[in-house]
Structure 1
Amino acid sequence: MATYKKRGYKPSNKKDRDNSAEEESTTAEVFNSLDEGAGKFETWVAENQKYIYVILGIAVVAVIGYIGYTRFIHAPKQQEAANEMAKAESYMASALRATGAQSDSLYNLALNGGEGKYGFLDIIDNYGGTDAANLAHYNAGFAYLRTGKYKEAIDQLEDFSSDDEIMGPLATGGIGDAFLQLEQPEEALGYYEKAANMASNSFTTPRFLLKAAITALQLNQNDKAEEYLTRIEDEYPDSPEAEKVPVYLGQANS
């Protein structure tokens, strides 16, 4: 049974007095030890005060520098890069609507600039680290892809980074398209599979499942092709790609 000492309790015999004295002695030793430790720490602080202030100063300068860089350098740079890229994006939009030699010319202007304005490659070179430069990698990749420069397209699209469920898969699938044009279907299939699994939506997922299926058929991987075609049929029956499933499914089963 637990016991406790009442307030005002006094030891009634020698044994209790000895125990009490021992407890007081132990308590005193603990406090003396704490005082000694505190004293050593204060001495250490006093002796190393200069270094402590230097470390704290560096930390404060780093924080202030980061805030200053973000507010006064990075943010204006982001805006400037976005403004500079407007003309290149205009060329890109026009190229998508054009055909033949005119289309190629507009893609080249989008890449290299025109009328005294930057192209996507200039944005990448002059505004690295900005959102605009990242987007320029995406646009440059597809400009190269559509003008038959497939290795350059791969390089640019690999440098693009995005968590967007549309743009991310499109960039990855674009790398697959480039590898397919370079007659490297194994690599193309890997990128189509990755693009199909990056997000779940009715636009990019069935698109790259179908491309993966067609490429798998070319590689005589009929089981894999059937798997992808069945996914389109089951999960995306209303997609445009679903209309093509029966034809390719027949090839996979033959």
Structure 2
Amino acid sequence: MATYKKRGFKPKNKVEEAQLDEQNSTTAEVFNTLDESASKTEAWVQRNQNYILGVIGAIALGVLGYLGYNEFIQKPKEASAANELFYPQQYFDQALTNEAAKDSLFTLALNGAEGKYGFLDIIEEYSGTKAANLAQYSAGMTYLNLQQYDNAISHLEGFSSDDAVLGAMAKGGIGDAFSQLNQPEEALEYYEKAIAHSANEFTTPRFLYKAGIIAIDLGQKDKAMGFFKRIKDEFSSSQEANGIDALIGLTKN
């Protein structure tokens, strides 16, 4: 067992003298090992200093490059794209309330006019921006209203969002497109994705109802009942809850 040795300690006998010599030898050996390790580390650093400095420089340049790109390229690009999106979005909103001119307004929203970009231009010219992502959604919904269902699916699949309503509406819109294309299995799949995306008073009862109707058409009455009962139990104040008891009764027959 090692003991603490006071400064000026002198061994009383040969046994203590031998212990002291052994301890001093061990200490010297430890320091020698540390010195050797330090020397090897210094030698390695010297041999590889160009590589090390290169790596540090590359990391620094990468960080500075990212910050510069974000500040001087991406931010202005985002701002410009957002400004451009305002114009076609006006046409889209007008089309939703103007039945007589909706097709021409939807077309203007897609392609632009008077030197202004439409949704398709923004998707191409401002790829990677938030505005381009939103343009994918709006273009998809525009094609859905124009009954161009393949284009609607393509653009809505290109849209990505964690937003509770928009994310669900995009998936539900794909379901609507597949339903119109007479592909009920795919329609039901996307209605279920829309339901799973988020639970809210606006989109959830809407797509529960559509999923239930499709499930009945597919002969999946148990699944349909589950959709309709959720409307009855969780969204009783929704428009879809009107007459829901009759639909539940239909799934029992």
Q: Which TM-score band (shorter chain)?
A: over 0.9
Residue matched to 1:188:
187
Q: How many residues align?
A: 252
Question: SS of the counterpart of 1:16?
Answer: helix
RMSD after superposition: 1.5
Paired-residue identity, %: 52
Q: Structure 2: where are the runs of 5+ without partners?
A: none
Question: SS of the counterpart of 1:166?
Answer: helix
CA distance in 2, matches of 1:154, 1:244: 31
Q: Structure 1: where are the runs of 5+ without partners?
A: none
CA distance in 1, matches of 2:197, 2:208: 11
Letter in 2 for 1:194: K
Letter in 2 for 1:168: G
CA distance in 2, matches of 1:22, 1:6: 13
- TM-score normalised according to structure 2 size: 0.95
Residue matched to 2:40:
40
Residue matched to 2:13:
13
Q: Deviations over 1:66-110 (max 9, x none)?
A: 00000000000000011111110011011111114x101111110
**2:74 paired with 1:98:** no
Letter in 2 for 1:165: A
CA distance in 1, matches of 2:194, 2:227: 13
Letter in 2 for 1:46: Q
CA distance in 2, matches of 1:3, 1:31: 18
Question: SS of the counterpart of 2:174?
Answer: helix
Question: In 2 relative to 1, CA 240–4 (structure 1 residues): closer, same or farther, beyond 3 Å?
Answer: farther
Residue matched to 1:238:
237
CA displacement at 1:19 relative to structure 2: 2.1
CA displacement at 1:3 relative to structure 2: 8.5
CA displacement at 1:7 relative to structure 2: 4.1
Question: SS of the counterpart of 1:110?
Answer: helix
- TM-score normalised according to structure 1 size: 0.95
Residue matched to 1:150:
149
**2:61 paired with 1:61:** yes
Give runs of aligned pairs for residues 204-215 of structure 1, distance below 5 A: 204-215=203-214
CA distance in 2, matches of 1:3, 1:56: 45
CA displacement at 1:251 relative to structure 2: 1.4
Question: SS of the counterpart of 1:163?
Answer: coil
CA displacement at 1:112 relative to structure 2: 0.7
CA displacement at 1:12 relative to structure 2: 3.1
Q: Deviations over 1:190-231 (max 9, x none)?
A: 111111111111111111111111110010100000011111
CA distance in 2, matches of 1:20, 1:179: 89
